[in-house]
Structure 1
């Protein structure tokens, strides 16, 4: 499947990095109009890196989620608004206790329309000084994407009682459901 292109039945894709992919995936599987979420690695210089390689911070990859969505059900703007609420876009190479370039905030686009929307929202957030600090989210074309290992897929769903899931992913899901209830799947 080619990123950012219609993928049958009017579906599109976007890739987002918002810290640990377990947390980001846990939220976006709950969003109405998103038909598939895949944890992966993007925008590094090693082909098909392993999780262990990415964790060293030397591959240049970011932990990301690839979202396939139906723009007839949810707009890219709404997806990006959710994205900016569920992570801290003002910390460079860090989300909470997770630090390193693999945890950077990023939007990886495949179309000029995705690029424009991402740049517009980042500019709006900075103009509004909504976070009190500048948004450092990188907006770049998707490059060198690969899916993460199978054991990372649906991690929160498969491991809801794991410590990290309970302490970090669970609260992000709850925040999404409270803030964006109109977009939550039943």
Structure 2
């Protein structure tokens, strides 16, 4: 399945020397990544901060970002397009392995026998905003379906995301470094 969702448009603003606001950039993010072994899976990293509080004039460094976690003391804004997951357990395992080895090497994986192969944990507080479609948020003891307009606050817990809907889903994440 190819990605049927439109690319993400990123608009970045700035103030000129007189303090007047302008648009600095308007177009696609320079940091879009796909997992070729998982057609339709696309990560669009949009912005990151490297400190808190963050200097408003800090240069764009999103193209330098790797992995899932933000820099120490920082944040990352990303949108992920997630295709329906394979129904075959072995194909699902291969898809998750490809996704994690390609994109999320810094996530701590805690997959136990019988659990969803996408289980992982990060040292972050995440605001997860469902934009389109539906995803199932899987935790150690329960799961819930999120639909467009729903928000999940992920506080460093072990979790996975499953798209069981048969349709592409789009979710935005703001990841905040946490202790």
| Fold shared by both chains (TM-score > 0.5) | no
Structure with higher Rg: it is 2
Higher relative CO (Cα under 8 Å, sequence separation at least 6) belongs to 1
Scaled by the length of structure 2, the TM-score of the pair is: 0.29
- Between structures 1 and 2, the one with greater strand share: 2
